[in-house]
Chains A and B, each alone.
Chain A
Amino acid sequence: MKKLLIIAAALVISLSCLLGTDIVIRYKLNANIDKATYDNNIYTRNCSDYAMERIIDEHSIVVLGSSELHSSDDLAYPAALFNRGYSDFNMVMMGAGSLQSLPQAINVGALANNIKNKKVVLIVSPQWFSSGGVQDKAFCSRFEETNYVEFLQNDDISDETKAAVVARVNTLLEADPPTLKRAIKYEAMYLKHTLNPVTYVEMLSYNAFRNAKLRYTLVKEFKDLAPLDTDRYVRAEEIDFDALLQQAEETGLASCTTNDFGVNDEYYNEYVRDALETSKNSNIYASYAVSLEYDDLRLFLRVCSETGIEPLIVSTPLNGRWYDYTGFPIADRNTYYQNIRNICAEFSVAMVDFSEKEYELYFLKDIMHLGWKGWAYLDRAVYSFYKGETIEDTTTYQDLFGNGNVALSDGVTETGERAYTFTTGANENSFNNFYVRLDHDQTRLDAWDSVGHRAGVYLHTQPSGIYTVRFRANGNVVDEYIDLAVYLEENAVYRVNYSVDFFSTEQIRVSDIGFSKVEY
């Protein structure tokens, strides 16, 4: 009995010490929280409900993304532009390489109640959309368990959506069995409600410990962050985004002196130079057209919808010059971009479509990450989204379609302004698909066998002159087409667009056909 009393007393004293320590830790965290607005550490700050609740306010937008968020740029990168948080508007960035739609769906579900203005931005990268989606080892290495628990505890998310996320998570966590074991317990605890009381208490204690551990780690991390520069308070309204873009272009120009891809010298020398020969046409069979990631993106949007979060999807481009060099099919790239547009339309969410900036130099800083101009464009778009204003697109398009330079083959009839019908004759012809082809360099800009809107850009690398752009209904006996004779300038960028309103093997109806010169 006496020993039991001693043990009980020891436990009470220990618990008091722990509680006291935690109070001190929270106090220290609060004292340093202002420095952490741009401390995008996925293993600590982003997992801490305690920290994020204090960091996100009504004047900040949560920006979710992947590796581009780990950037360093003294100009337009948000941490630099908004003076690390000493500003009347901030972006709370959360992301790292391989943090794709699924983990970001979990993050939104976990943080939804902390996002005061109910708006988030998701920067979507094409590289996410390989056929298998996020890799299991990558997912495990970035898995934010604390946020996963918060996600499962969010009552606004339906059981159906939670079950879909849980199924994906459990599959991916097979590469990390101990974590999978806990994930299954969380599922039983919060979704199926079948966990036995002993394990329930065990998991509650474990989570309380995890949160305390996070706070302790954060205290050390925040303490080491540099103090804010309080000599310069940034008012976002006073930022001249046009001047910022001009500066971004100058910085990009000075940073890319060794190649024509618009890749910064440091990256080019480290990764590209030695791989240049082997990379030529190395991607001719690559594709982002079909991927598990599309369904993960839908899950992200479902979580946003159920938690009342308004998302802005940012579709970032590939580096067109580099991907052309590696032979990645333009048609496939355009299919990917259109897939993203279609998913946004499916969920009626806003998007910023940067896909047509594939060939804008310095939009990216290497072959895949946002660069000097990319950040400047993004800053402006996110700030407009925050204010509820229309997001400005400064790209201009010079229309080149029409004016007597269009010729129709047999079987094609003009049914309205920029609207045409392709009809098979009595020769047992049958349409397979519809696409746009540039015969002078054997390039297909797209290829489809279904209805929908298509758009894409193309860099003309041939000498300047008059060329034929063919909008072709591909038949198994004979093709039917619209030929556009147009003067193309060397190294200029052109945009093609059209909508297939009806598709069958006998008839294709197309409208809204356009071909324009693009000026960034």
Chain B
Amino acid sequence: MKHVFEFFKRERVASVLMAVKIVGMLLLLYLYLLWADLSTAPEFIYNQF
């Protein structure tokens, strides 16, 4: 366990982890925007009669 903590404390690994976090956040934000309904139009019900 001690080795694991030491591994993650290494400067290079910490940098990679930070980059991964940023990439992850950006991709999650992008995926959310892909899914989200961005329409702001007022509701309109088309009258069939």
Contacts and interface: CB of A to CB of B under 8 A. Distances in A.
Interface of A: 2-3, 6-7, 9-11, 13-14, 17-18, 67, 96-98, 135, 137-138, 140-141, 143, 175-179, 209, 212-213, 216-217, 267, 271-272, 275, 366-367
B19 A9 contact: yes
Interface of B: 15, 18-20, 22-23, 26-27, 30, 33-34, 38, 40-44, 46, 48-49
Contacts of A177: 40
Ranked nearest first, the 8 interchain pairs of A and B with the lowest CB-CB distance are: A10-B22, A97-B46, A271-B49, A141-B44, A140-B41, A178-B40, A137-B44, A14-B26
B26 A10 contact: yes
Contacts of B38: 213
Contacts of B22: 6-7, 10-11, 14
A459 to B, nearest CB: 22
Contacts of A13: 19, 23
A17 B30 CA distance: 11
Nearest to B29: A14
A8 to B, nearest CB: 9
A9 B42 CA distance: 41
A179 B49 contact: no
B33 A141 contact: no
Contacts of B23: 10, 13-14, 17
Given A6-B18, A6-B19, A14 B27 contact: yes
Nearest to B20: A10
A349 to B, nearest CB: 28
A141 B47 CA distance: 14
A141 B41 contact: yes
A141 B42 contact: yes
Given A178-B40, A179-B41, A10 B46 contact: no
A209 B31 CA distance: 11
7 contacts: A3-B18, A10-B20, A18-B27, A67-B46, A175-B42, A176-B41, A275-B49
A177 B41 CA distance: 9
B34 A216 contact: yes
Contact of B44 (A2, A9, A98, A271): A98
Given A6-B19, A14-B26, A98 B42 contact: no
A272 B49 contact: yes
A267 B49 CA distance: 9
Contacts of B43: 137, 141
A218 B3 CA distance: 48
A137 B19 CA distance: 45
Given A67-B46, A216-B34, 19 more contacts: A6-B18, A7-B19, A10-B20, A10-B26, A11-B26, A14-B27, A14-B30, A17-B27, A18-B27, A96-B46, A97-B48, A138-B46, A141-B42, A175-B41, A176-B41, A176-B42, A212-B34, A213-B38, A366-B48
A143 B46 contact: no
A213 B30 CA distance: 10
Contacts of A272: 49
A411 B45 CA distance: 55
Contacts of B20: 10
A213 B33 contact: yes
Contacts of A96: 46
Contacts of A135: 44
